[in-house]
Structure 1
Amino acid sequence: MELSGNTVICSSSNHTLNSKGGGCPWEVSDKARLCRFLCYGSEGDVYTAREEGRVSMEGAGALLSLLQEGRGTEVVEEIKRFTQDERAVRLSPCFFALALCSQHSELKTRQAAFKAFKEVCRDPAHLFSVIQYKKELKESMKCGIWGRSLRKAVSDWYNEQDAMSLAVAVTKCKQREGWSHQDLLRLSHTKPTNEAIAVISKYVTKGWKEVQAAYADKENSEEVVKVLLYLEVVEKVKHSCDETVVINLIEEHKLERAQLLTDHLKSKQVWRALLKEMPLQSVLGILGKMTSNKILEPGSSETRAVCERIQSETALKKAKIHPFSILLASENYKRGQGYQGKTKWEPDSSILKAMDFAFYKSFVNVEPVDKRFVVAVDVSTSLSSVVPGTSVSTAVAAAAITMIYARTEPDTHVLAYSEGALIPCSVSPDMTLAQTTAELVKIPAGSTDCTLPVTWATENGKAVDVFIVLTNNPVWTCTISPVQSLKKHRQMSGANSKLLMCGLTSIGHAIADTEDRGLLSICGFDLGALCVIRNIAQDLI
């Protein structure tokens, strides 16, 4: 059933979801709004899956309030935490906030922001993004960009990198957001602090020929020799039309797709060479294209190698791939067609088998938060309903989400409910995805009272930290308001309970609007939604 809107109906006119009264136990402070903003780009209590957009001043009220209160250094610390601890679903809000802090009138805030550049901007794309946000903020804040502090921050960013890592970075990500390394090095007046960084700086600003001329007759250090050799390889690839030469250089120096020319990527053999060292997450994203282009053919050595990597517990751990990420890739590959409809392929059974195996193996990558969970599921028995932007049915998505908590959080109760009936489900950690799906779709969907799981826990004396309600029903009926049901459960159990209402087929309409920090809505579902749940479970947003 498609969700075209989310209507909230409460049986009592005295309690509505947007009520600010009723003694809500958790005030939504400016700090909480800031953390929501840094996490998913909105200060509101609704997370919309796959929603990308340019961040602007209009959505950053709490951030501005905190800066006006003189709490800028506190804001910078939160930015660092959200980027470094992988709390952020999207990094753009953090980059915007850092740019804003770096242009604030208070000196301490500016100093903290510029000092944080190298910690927040972990690769060139991040740095380019912050600089672009500074440019966009220039007019509204009536300030310049390239003052002494920014020049120093950018110079330090380049100078404090490991030389070989920087050589790889500048050849992989040459420009972004309208900025290039040449722009940044020139505008920051960067003076390299060692010879290896000087080589890279000259390469970026003057080109390879000037580097050759400057260092050909010098007695260079070991580090400089390594950098020169690497840059020479990158240049050789750029000017080579010989497929064998390109493949040998890829394999010997672990070159990546971004360092090659478009013409190189027309070669199947080049793609086969790239696949060997390509990050596993990237491999999962192009399996359909590789199958369509006959690069991965049934029974081929390349297909066997890819299947081995996908199934490797070591590779899965190293890449930190989440089971939900594998599910999304697997269901998309199984579909046999790209979202634009142009690329089509016949799914390879061995790849599907490998991805199924990897799904279960990857649960080791889910770090438990050690909270008490209730996952309550109300989904349609129809598998034609899919989570927007994916190839995953709502039934399978609900089963996978349920499994994630049942397998990784020791204290998890799974409930299925509809039309006022609520039944505990026997979802055990050793069940397969198919078995879990079958267990959850036994009860047909009806009207969805999102407070039923909370009432069940309260009446049965079960203290719960996090309630997760999963549904594809467009109408939510509430015998009492979610805030009131949460308040009652908190008083009974002594727990700081939260309620997350997930409309799996929602296309962005709000389900909740409340001043209780423990109530949050998720519209649609993606990997970011799991990050949001984790953050709210740990009181981080």
Structure 2
Amino acid sequence: MEPSGSTPSNHTQNSTGGSCPWEVNDKAKLCRFLCYGSEGDIYTAREEDRASMENAGALLSMLQEGRGTEVVEEIKRFSQDGRAVRLSPSFFALALCSQHSELKTRQAAFKALKEVCRDPAHLFSFIQYKKELKEGMKCGIWGRALRKAVSDWYNEQDALSLAAAVTRCKQREGWSHQDLLRLSHTKPARDAIALISKYVTKGWKEVQAAYADKENSEEVVKVLSYLEVVEKVKHSCDETEVIALMEEHKLEREQLLTDHLKSKQVWRALLKDMPLHSVLRILGKMTANKVLEPGSSETQSVCDRIQSETALKKAKIHPFSILLASENYKRGQGYQGKTKWEPDSSILKAMDAAFYKSFLNVEPSGKRFVVAVDVSTSLSSIVPGTSVSTAVAAAAIAMIFVRTEADTHVLTYSEGAVVPCTVSPDMTLAETTIELVKIPSGSTDCTLPIAWATESGKSVDVFIILTNNPLWSFSASPVEALKKHRQISGANTKLVMCGLTSIGHAVADTEDRGLMSICGFDLGALSVIRSLAQDLI
């Protein structure tokens, strides 16, 4: 944790650089773009457009200034540290760097390809962006550098992992492995890669004919037997055989036929090894299709897994993810309204337990927070794109900070008054919600919590203002109130304004890098707040 006497001058040493600590410079804009796909100070939850030139002005400026290798380093950092809320901006930025006029930038981009594009879907996305960026130009994209980079991508993979990857994700965005291997003129570096290349381009029959009577290495034998299993499943109508092969070889949903997915038993087998994130997403569908029936052993084992601390930790499940999944499951209906189910009480109980256990997965940032809440108790107020009421969402957000950050104050504010709340780490979600909605809310004056902290002599690193009131009002300018707090407290204070029901309006058009607006709320919003708190965007 920073000492309370830290001065704003420390701020110049952060990753986004720049002479003035609060100036929104090109580096800061690039970091925002890589984090959530926009250079602006508004993060809109659950809204993902394809990354495009319109949103990448700073990226282009930095390339023109000869700072291409710096851009590539930043792309690598964002894609590897799990900081990027959305991945496509990184692939777009890398594609742009890979065809920049400066040789050094192009070389750095191609060298970074394997680190940034870790699976086939990422690689296909990168190639598609290259194609789109070349549309206006006369030359093709398959020059020697791209051919080498794509060849290296395949050649440097572990053979068995590559066999699994090419059978799971065969094509995306109009590209297939067959296209990429052919266009890159890949010369396989090892026998096992040659085998996978032959399988992708020529098919299983030719592979069988070519490898039947050969003395094969151990690696080739492993890949051959794996591909044999994948082919066997593709042509099998025997449910028992399919399940046995799936369980033995950890096959995934994408490697099965649509017909297989009509079977309840196949789904039950899939659920055993399916990543926990995916399990949480399809609980409603599984209950509706009677794959998970009340009191069954399958339901029991799914419940055990959902609330297993080890499983939650391994999958790095965040409490907010569980809240979203749990409220959606409670609703008993899919978003399109076609699928309906009767929520199973044991699954609801397991998700409730998992919510509290998963707080251990939240990494503290060690900063000082004030979470100020202004939500009405109106039950019709729902966070867009979710089944969560704004009051419950605000309570969950407050709990996340109270339980994981040692220095957190929770306030409710309304009608010109600020009331500190008693939200302790041992309170339940229901108790926290009741505590927050005690006070009727009125106008949303987001400067009140800042004034409260300044007058109370509290140094705050991040103010998080939560409201479901679509209209913000200010007794003073939020930027001025923020500057005053920075000056008096000596802290590098930021302000995050979250309109929980908002679908995309800015609160203040400002060139102050410490101010951020969030419209709606999702897991990505928490990631954006964390990155802002740590001076990463």
Please give the range of the TM-score, normalised by the shorter of the 2 chains: over 0.9
Work out whether 1:110 is the aligned partner of 2:106. yes
For structure 2, list consecutive stretches of 5 or more residues without a partner in the other structure: 1-19
Please tell me the residue identity of whatever aligns with 2:439. Answer: I
CA offsets per residue over residues 458-507 of structure 1, 9 Å max, x none? 11111100000000012211122111111111111111100000000001
Distance in 2 (CA, whole Å) between partners of 1:434 and 1:233 is 49
Distance in 1 (CA, whole Å) between partners of 2:70 and 2:139 is 23
Distance in 2 (CA, whole Å) between partners of 1:104 and 1:397 is 44
Which of 323, 327, 345 is the aligned partner of 1:327?
323
Work out whether 1:529 is the aligned partner of 2:501. no
Distance in 2 (CA, whole Å) between partners of 1:77 and 1:481 is 37
Provide the residue aligned with 2:298 in structure 1.
302
Work out whether 1:202 is the aligned partner of 2:198. yes
Provide the residue aligned with 1:262 in structure 2.
258
Distance in 2 (CA, whole Å) between partners of 1:413 and 1:531 is 20
What is the SS of the residue equivalent to 2:441?
Answer: coil
Provide the residue aligned with 1:508 in structure 2.
504
Provide the residue aligned with 1:19 in structure 2.
none
Work out whether 1:212 is the aligned partner of 2:208. yes
What is the SS of the residue equivalent to 2:507?
Answer: coil
CA contact (8 A) 1:118 1:157 kept: yes
Work out whether 1:435 is the aligned partner of 2:427. no
Distance in 2 (CA, whole Å) between partners of 1:451 and 1:312 is 42
Which of 311, 315, 320 is the aligned partner of 2:307?
311
Which of 149, 154, 158 is the aligned partner of 1:158?
154
How do 1:85-164 residues align onto structure 2 when only pairs under 5 Å count?
85-164=81-160
Provide the residue aligned with 2:239 in structure 1.
243
Please tell me the residue identity of whatever aligns with 1:204. Answer: V
Work out whether 1:64 is the aligned partner of 2:73. no
Provide the residue aligned with 2:444 in structure 1.
448
Work out whether 1:403 is the aligned partner of 2:367. no
Work out whether 1:40 is the aligned partner of 2:15. no
Please tell me the residue identity of whatever aligns with 1:325. Answer: S
Please tell me the residue identity of whatever aligns with 2:389. Answer: S
Provide the residue aligned with 1:473 in structure 2.
469
Work out whether 1:227 is the aligned partner of 2:223. yes
Distance in 2 (CA, whole Å) between partners of 1:378 and 1:140 is 49
Please tell me the residue identity of whatever aligns with 2:163. Answer: A
What is the SS of the residue equivalent to 2:473?
Answer: strand
Provide the residue aligned with 1:11 in structure 2.
none
Provide the residue aligned with 1:487 in structure 2.
483
Work out whether 1:382 is the aligned partner of 2:396. no
TM-score, normalization: structure 2? 0.96
Greater shift in the superposed pair: 49-58 or 67-76: 49-58
Distance in 2 (CA, whole Å) between partners of 1:405 and 1:284 is 23
What is the SS of the residue equivalent to 2:516?
Answer: strand
The alpha-carbon deviation at position 383 of structure 1 amounts to 2.1
Provide the residue aligned with 2:408 in structure 1.
412
Work out whether 1:169 is the aligned partner of 2:165. yes
Greater shift in the superposed pair: 474-483 or 344-353: 474-483
Change beyond 3 A, Cα 1:221–1:25: closer
Provide the residue aligned with 1:280 in structure 2.
276
CA contact (8 A) 1:387 1:504 kept: yes
What is the SS of the residue equivalent to 1:346?
Answer: coil
Distance in 2 (CA, whole Å) between partners of 1:291 and 1:364 is 28
Distance in 1 (CA, whole Å) between partners of 2:30 and 2:490 is 27
Please tell me the residue identity of whatever aligns with 2:499. Answer: G
CA offsets per residue over residues 437-470 of structure 1, 9 Å max, x none? 0000001110011111111111111110000000
The alpha-carbon deviation at position 512 of structure 1 amounts to 2.3
Please tell me the residue identity of whatever aligns with 1:463. Answer: S
The root-mean-square deviation of aligned C-alpha atoms, in Å, is 0.9
Provide the residue aligned with 2:355 in structure 1.
359
Distance in 2 (CA, whole Å) between partners of 1:504 and 1:445 is 14
CA offsets per residue over residues 19-39 of structure 1, 9 Å max, x none? xxxxx9611000000111111
Please tell me the residue identity of whatever aligns with 2:168. Answer: K
Distance in 1 (CA, whole Å) between partners of 2:455 and 2:323 is 36
Distance in 1 (CA, whole Å) between partners of 2:219 and 2:352 is 44
Greater shift in the superposed pair: 290-299 or 140-149: 140-149
What is the SS of the residue equivalent to 1:539?
Answer: coil
The alpha-carbon deviation at position 390 of structure 1 amounts to 0.2
What is the SS of the residue equivalent to 1:373?
Answer: strand
Work out whether 1:425 is the aligned partner of 2:434. no
Please tell me the residue identity of whatever aligns with 1:174. Answer: K
Percent of aligned positions that are identical: 86
Distance in 2 (CA, whole Å) between partners of 1:424 and 1:478 is 20
CA contact (8 A) 1:45 1:512 kept: no
Change beyond 3 A, Cα 1:25–1:76: closer
Provide the residue aligned with 2:286 in structure 1.
290
Distance in 1 (CA, whole Å) between partners of 2:54 and 2:138 is 17
CA contact (8 A) 1:25 1:516 kept: no
> How many positions carry a matched residue from both structures?
518
Please tell me the residue identity of whatever aligns with 1:340. Answer: Q
For structure 1, list consecutive stretches of 5 or more residues without a partner in the other structure: 1-23
Distance in 2 (CA, whole Å) between partners of 1:303 and 1:141 is 56
Which of 444, 455, 459 is the aligned partner of 1:459?
455
Please tell me the residue identity of whatever aligns with 1:457. Answer: A
Distance in 2 (CA, whole Å) between partners of 1:474 and 1:277 is 43
CA offsets per residue over residues 415-447 of structure 1, 9 Å max, x none? 011011101100000100000000000011100
Which of 226, 240, 252 is the aligned partner of 2:248?
252
The alpha-carbon deviation at position 141 of structure 1 amounts to 5.0
TM-score, normalization: structure 1? 0.95
Distance in 2 (CA, whole Å) between partners of 1:121 and 1:315 is 26
CA offsets per residue over residues 500-540 of structure 1, 9 Å max, x none? 00000001122221100000100000010011001100101
What is the SS of the residue equivalent to 2:352?
Answer: helix
CA contact (8 A) 1:25 1:487 kept: no
Distance in 2 (CA, whole Å) between partners of 1:142 and 1:40 is 31
CA offsets per residue over residues 101-146 of structure 1, 9 Å max, x none? 0010000000000000000001000000000000000023554310
CA contact (8 A) 1:128 1:176 kept: yes
Distance in 1 (CA, whole Å) between partners of 2:406 and 2:46 is 30
Ranges of 4+ aligned residues in structure 1 off by more than 4 Å? none
The alpha-carbon deviation at position 77 of structure 1 amounts to 0.5
CA contact (8 A) 1:471 1:502 kept: yes
What is the SS of the residue equivalent to 1:531?
Answer: helix
